[in-house]
Amino acid sequence: MTATHPTATTNLTPTLSRGPRRTGPLLRIAPAAATLGAILAGGAAVLALATGRGADYSAIFPPPWLGLVGAGLLGIALVLGWLSPGRSAQAASWTAAAVLLGASGGVVLDGFRAFFAVTGIPAGDFAEVDLPGAVARLSALGASFGAIQLARRARLDGGSAQRPVTARSRRIVRVLGLLLCLPYPLLKLVWWWQGEDSAYTVGFPAMEFALFGLAAVVLIGLTASRTPAVARVPLLVAGWGGAFAPLSMGALMVFGVLAQATGLAASPLTLGDPSRIILVAAVYGTWLLLGVVLAAATVLYGEARPARGVRGRSDEASRGAE
């Protein structure tokens, strides 16, 4: 008779909550994190407004006042959550998250510019950074994450039952996410195949394939039926990080269309050229959707029950899978 050693895995079939609700560390600190996020996002937005217009490249980015609006909405969500956790607090939190994500549009491009500015790699004007605006956009992005966690906390505090994660839901999220990883690299591949553009030389999209390939790997890990327990924290970090980068870029596209249509701010789009609008909206729309799917996969994975036992399956987890 051979002895078997228990291994630790993450089982993605949690049971419905009964009794005290199980919350992870992110949900436990959600109100404090959201409060800090609202203060930082609001303060950074005020600073960016006070310093005036930054570098020329940021003229097409969402204006700082949008981050101030998002911080105010997050403050309202915090008050509602404290007074009466429930649907109103959830709705306010999700609204604040959407506005703050819009305010963060362009933060990924800020990051690339900051990389060249810090490393000293010759990049010309691309090494110029709108520092107050970049801080405001980064703060808005962090506050949007706090708002999402606050919405999840309000759902649990309001008495909503935790639904089981089924194999079907995992497959849907995985397939949809993998499909959304394809359009942008394939578009860049087509441009490379066509050769030089009138404005610039198009190189082979190696970086695009690497980044979206990495997103696909993370998505597969998040939606697998079993994962090693040691991979849980790295997957959660990669999932949230991978979700918020395309969410911010997709939000920039959405804001660009709305800004041009309403005249609220400058926009890189020209509504008189429908083909360009369709192309930009379709491509960056897939970024936005990929961010949503990655965030959904990360939430499902984070709410799963870590299982311990022979072959990584505990009795409790086994009952939840039935």
So what's the pLDDT on residue 166? 78
Bigger pLDDT: 307 or 315? 307
Q: Are 100 and 143 in contact (CB under 8 A)?
A: yes
Query: What is the phi/psi pair of residue 9, to 5°?
Result: -135, 170
> pLDDT at residue 72 above 70?
yes
* C-alpha 169: how far from chain center: 20
So what's the pLDDT on residue 25? 78
User: What do you get for the CA distance between the two ends of the chain, in Å?
Assistant: 29
The answer to whether the Cα torsion of 32, 36, 39, 45 is positive or negative is: negative
Tokens of 282: 């379709």
Measured CA to CA in angstroms, residue 53 lies from 44, 61, 103 at distances of 14, 11, 15
Average pLDDT across the chain, whole number = 81
pLDDT digits (tens, 9 = 90+) for 118-171: 998 888 888 899 999 999 999 999 999 999 999 999 888 876 656 666 788 889
So what's the pLDDT on residue 8? 53
H or E stretch including 197?
Answer: none
Q: Are 73 and 99 in contact (CB under 8 A)?
A: yes
Rg (CA), the chain: 22
Task: Give the integer Cα–Cα distance in Å for 141 and 244.
Answer: 8
The answer to whether the Cα torsion of 257, 142, 130, 282 is positive or negative is: negative
Query: Across the strands, what pairs with 308?
Result: 8
Split at pLDDT 50, 70, 90, the class of 310 is very low
> pLDDT at residue 75 above 90?
yes
- 202 CB contacts (<8 Å, ≥6 apart)? 188, 191, 192, 194, 195, 196
> pLDDT at residue 112 above 60?
yes
Tokens of 56: 């020329």
Highest mean pLDDT among 166-175, 194-203, 213-222, 300-309 belongs to: 213-222
DSSP per-residue string spanning 68-125: HHHHHHHHHHHHHHHH--SHHHHHHHHHHHHHHHHHTTTHHHHHHHHHHHHH----GG
Task: Give the integer Cα–Cα distance in Å for 153 and 155.
Answer: 5
So what's the pLDDT on residue 52? 86
pLDDT digits (tens, 9 = 90+) for 204-244: 889 989 999 999 999 999 999 888 889 999 999 999 999 99
So what's the pLDDT on residue 17? 40
So what's the pLDDT on residue 313? 37
Tokens of 281: 């909206």
Task: Give the integer Cα–Cα distance in Å for 23 and 302.
Answer: 10
So what's the pLDDT on residue 9? 56
Task: Give the integer Cα–Cα distance in Å for 52 and 97.
Answer: 25
pLDDT digits (tens, 9 = 90+) for 7-63: 555 555 443 343 335 567 778 899 999 999 999 999 999 999 999 888 888 888 888
* Residue in this structure with the two tokens 């089924």, named with its chain if needed: 166
Measured CA to CA in angstroms, residue 176 lies from 53, 221, 237, 293 at distances of 40, 14, 21, 8
Q: Are 297 and 239 in contact (CB under 8 A)?
A: yes
Q: Strand 305-309's sheet: what is its strand order?
A: 226-228, 7-11, 305-309
* Across 303-314, average pLDDT: 50
